[in-house]
Amino acid sequence: MKEIAVSDVKAKTNPDAADPTAPYGSANNPSEFDVLKRLDANEPYFIIRGGDPLSDALVELHAYIGAGQSGAAHDTLERILALTAQHPPRPVGSPKYRETFKISISMERYRETHGRSH
């Protein structure tokens, strides 16, 4: 399977965007597959913001795993681990850290009762 290079991916502008000059995937220029307006009222969700120090790498990892590109996923995961080896972005005792696991459990339970979202 061909790996997708980041340089090969061209962000497009949503014709219905509130601000076509806003970054693609933002509130003012949502991506084609934006789900926020389609969420079930009880469906758990997790947002990774652009300012998060790992945001681009985590989204890239998700894309590579979803596309079955294990080599690229492995490389991206190694990059994430290297970035966090010395200075984790959030300490283990952080309430946000614990909350992330609660959301993960909620997602698993939701999927078990409602199936996949796509």
**Average pLDDT for the chain:** 86
Which residue would you say has higher pLDDT here, 64 or 86?
A: 64
Tell me: pLDDT of 1 over 50.
Answer: no
With residue 66 as reference, give the H or E element that holds it.
helix 55-66
- Provide the domain count of the chain: 1
Whether residue 68 is contained in a domain is answered as yes
Tell me: pLDDT of 10 over 70.
Answer: no
Whether residue 14 is contained in a domain is answered as no
Instruction: Supply the pLDDT for residue 12.
Output: 57
SS3 state at 110 = helix
Instruction: Supply the pLDDT for residue 60.
Output: 97
Instruction: Supply the pLDDT for residue 86.
Output: 78
Residues 41-71: tens digit of each pLDDT:
999 999 999 999 899 999 999 999 999 999 9
Whether residue 62 is contained in a domain is answered as yes
Instruction: Supply the pLDDT for residue 94.
Output: 85
Whether residue 97 is contained in a domain is answered as no
* pLDDT confidence band for 96 (50 / 70 / 90): confident
Whether residue 57 is contained in a domain is answered as yes
* pLDDT confidence band for 2 (50 / 70 / 90): very low
d(CA 7, CA 5): 5
Whether residue 78 is contained in a domain is answered as yes
71 in Cβ contact with 3 (< 8 Å): yes
Whether residue 69 is contained in a domain is answered as yes
Domain coverage including residue 69: 52-87
Whether residue 59 is contained in a domain is answered as yes
68 in Cβ contact with 62 (< 8 Å): no
